[in-house]
Amino acid sequence: MAATEIPGYRYGDPSLPPSSLSLDELHRLQQALLFSEEDARALRRAREILAPQVDAILDVWYGFVGSHDFLLAYFATPAGPDGEYLSRVRARFGQWILDTCRADYDETWLAYQDEIARRHYQGKNQTDGVEGAPPIIHFRYVNALIYPIFATIRPFLEQGESDPAEVERMHQAWLKAVLLQVTLWSRPYLREGAF
């Protein structure tokens, strides 16, 4: 599915409000994470490897979420798990893998990070028109899921790269990119001025 056909996908949408975080503040966050140009290059290489495996990666991640009722509950209404909701989120999640590996770290990227943050907290079900699902994803799980998203990507990187040092570079770059995004997604959960 082309990115433009993904329901609710708004990366690059000029109608998104600009982020209140400046590029200088973003660069300071990257420095705090030791994120470098080498990491950006490693992510571009990772994209080449991961792009043909997106569905298999999502199968692993959705299997993990589906095996934990307290996580699956975020995609359920009182009638049970909402298959259409899960499918729409899955399409965006797959694109997120690719976007994570090719991020430009510019104003457009920052605006979309704010949109993702909003969808986790202030407007979780609005994008997909879902009623009855929990209104937020509790931050404890947004944060805790960093580890499985990090750990489970390595076998997929290894399928496309035989050099262990290069796999490690890509894996560490992936971790830094995920940590950066989750840090940005934390903003709505924090008291004003605490970010």
Q: What is the pLDDT of residues 120-173, one digit of tens each?
A: 998 899 999 999 999 999 999 999 999 999 999 999 999 999 999 999 999 999
Which tokens go with 69? Answer: 């009722």
Nearest to 72 by CA among 102, 177, 111, 80: 80
- Name the band, by pLDDT with cuts 50, 70 and 90, for residue 2: confident
Q: What domains can you pick out in the chain, each with its CATH number?
A: 20-189 (1.10.490.10)
Amino acid (one-letter) located at 181: Q
Q: What average pLDDT does range 182-190 have in this prediction?
A: 96
What Cα–Cα distance (Å) separates residue 151 from each residue in 24, 27, 38, 66, 130?
Answer: 30, 25, 20, 18, 31
Check residue 50 and give its pLDDT: 98
CA–CA separation, 190 and 98 (whole Å)? 28
Give me the pLDDT at residue 25, please: 98
3-state secondary structure the chain: CCHHHCCCCCCCCCCCCCCCCCHHHHHHHHHHCCCCHHHHHHHHHHHHHHHHHHHHHHHHHHHHHHCCHHHHHHHEECCEECHHHHHHHHHHHHHHHHHHHHCCCCHHHHHHHHHHHHHHHCCCCCCCCCCCCCCCCCHHHHHHCHHHHHHCCHHHHHCCCCCHHHHHHHHHHHHHHHHHHHHHHCHHHCCCCCC
Per-residue pLDDT, 65: 96
Q: Can you give the pTM of this predicted structure?
A: 0.95
pLDDT (tens digit, 9 = 90+) per residue, 34-68?
999 999 999 999 999 999 999 999 999 999 999 99
> Residue 178: is its pLDDT beyond 80?
yes
Whole-number pLDDT of residue 155 = 98
pLDDT at 77: 95
> Quick one: pLDDT band at residue 191, thresholds 50, 70, 90?
confident
Residue 195: predicted pLDDT: 81
Which has the closest alpha carbon to 98: 161, 156, 158, 51? 51
The model's pLDDT over 73-132, given as tens digits with 9 standing for 90+, comes to 999 999 999 999 999 999 999 999 999 999 999 999 999 999 999 999 988 999 999 999
Confidence at residue 99, expressed as pLDDT on a 0 to 100 scale: 98
